Amino acid sequence: MPVPRSRAPGRSRVAAATALLSALALLLALPGAASAAPHPAGPPAPLPPRGSAHMGMGVLAHDGQGRLPQGGRAAQTEGVDVSSHQGNVDWPALWSSGVKWAYVKATEGNYYKNTSFTQQYNGSYNVGMIRGTYHFGTPNDSSGANQANYFVDGGGGWSPDGRTLPGVLDIEWNPYGATCYGKTASQMVDWIRDFVNTYRARTGRDAVIYTATSWWKTCTGNYAGFGTTNPLWIARYDSTVGELPAGWGFQTIWQYTSTGPIVGDHNRFNGALDRVQALANG
Closest residue by Cα to residue 262 from 68, 78, 5 = 78
Cβ proximity of 255 and 233 under 8 Å = yes
Give yes or no: 81 in active site: yes
Query: Residues 63, 81, 108, 265: which is the catalytic one?
Result: 81
Category of 244 on φ-ψ map: left (φ > 0), alpha (ψ -120 to 50) or beta? beta
Q: Is 170 a catalytic residue?
A: yes
Strand partners, 82: 104
Is residue 178 helix, strand or coil? coil
Q: Single out the catalytic residue among 63, 108, 170, 206.
A: 170
- Choose, from 63, 90, 108, 172, the residue flagged as catalytic: 172
Which amino acid is residue 92, in one-letter code?
A: P
Q: What are phi and psi of 76, to 5 degrees?
A: -135, 150
Q: How many residues in total does the chain contain?
A: 282
Contact 131, 166 (CB under 8 A): no
* Active-site annotation, residues: 81, 170, 172
